[in-house]
Amino acid sequence: MTKTVLLALILSGVTGALAGYLGSLMLTKRMALMGGALGHLTLPGVALALLYDFDVSLGALVFLGLGVSVIWYLEQKTHLHLEALTAVVFSTSLATAFLFLPRQEADIALLGDVSHVTVFMVLATVTIATGIFLTVRHIYSHTVLIGISPDLAASRGIDLRWHNTLYLLCVALTVALGVRIVGGLMTAALLAVPACTARNVSWNLKQYAYFSMAAGGLASVLGVLGYVATGLPPGPLIVIASGLLFLGSVYTKVRFGKVLSSEP
């Protein structure tokens, strides 16, 4: 196994595991598809990064922050639904990206690329991912409660605005990291599918969160191994691997669900 392949496996595994863990929270809050909209917001930044040869995650994060700020401003001024404003901004971002995205690098922006991973990228990804994981673990139970009943959470002294802001920041950073391995089109799958897989085979909130993390990491590693073996883009292979794990969880639930549910 070459150094580049090993670095790609580490970067993808860590990113996929983080996306799965955060995705379990997004699925609980019924925001699983939000990752797709945010992924589209990153595309102009990814296009600029490819055009001027700097880190795609950095470009993605800059435009993601800009897009989220625009959505927040428009919501304050127009009082339109957040979903409607997100659709307006992300579709405009997608159109803008295609105006100046180099055609020869369009596949990288849309489908991901792990062929030029460096030690610095891996160290930076692991450091950022660790910080996000610790932050999300700290706010996980409170954020779940906010999603179930904001009034109950407020009555318990939970600062809703602070928790939601911190949660959205973690989502944005995770999407920026995920763009590298699955591109700007499939970030929703990177976040949502492992969580759906974990939901089928877990029996409590803790199992659900960590099974989702394991499913995301495993799917990303399998996708990169498929990329190494076939030369096909890593993004689709990661999503396909994640989908196969989901089907496996469905079979497990159907085949063994009644037996497990009968145990004390």
Average predicted confidence (pLDDT) for the chain: 80
**CA–CA separation, 56 vs 48, rounded Å?**
8
- Read off the pTM: 0.79
- DSSP labels, the chain: --HHHHHHHHHHHHHHHHHHHHHHHHHHTT-TTHHHHHHHHHHHHHHHHHHHTS-HHHHHHHHHHHHHHHHHHHHHHH---HHHHHHHHHHHHHHHHHHHS-GGGHHHHHH---TT--HHHHHHHHHHHHHHHHHHHHHHHHHHHHHH-HHHHHHTT--HHHHHHHHHHHHHHHHHHHHHHHTTTSHHHHHHHHHHHHHHH-SSHHHHHHHHHHHHHHHHHHHHHHHHHH---HHHHHHHHHHHHHHHHHHHHHHHHHHHHT--
Token duo for residue 135: 């932050």
- Structural domain that includes position 161: 3-261
According to the model, what pLDDT value does residue 58 have?
74
CATH of the domain at 9: 1.10.3470.10
pLDDT grade for 212, boundaries at 50, 70 and 90: very high
Q: Return d(Cα 87, Cα 1) in angstroms, integer.
A: 43
| Residue 22 vs residue 76, higher pLDDT | 22
pLDDT value of position 101 = 67
Residues 6+ apart with CB under 8 A from 68: 38, 41, 168, 172
Q: Across residues 151-168, what is the average pLDDT?
A: 80
Q: What would the pLDDT profile of 73-120 be if each residue is shown by its tens digit?
A: 776 777 676 667 767 776 777 677 677 666 656 666 666 778 778 888
Residue 140 has pLDDT above 70, yes or no: yes
Tally the domains of the chain: 1
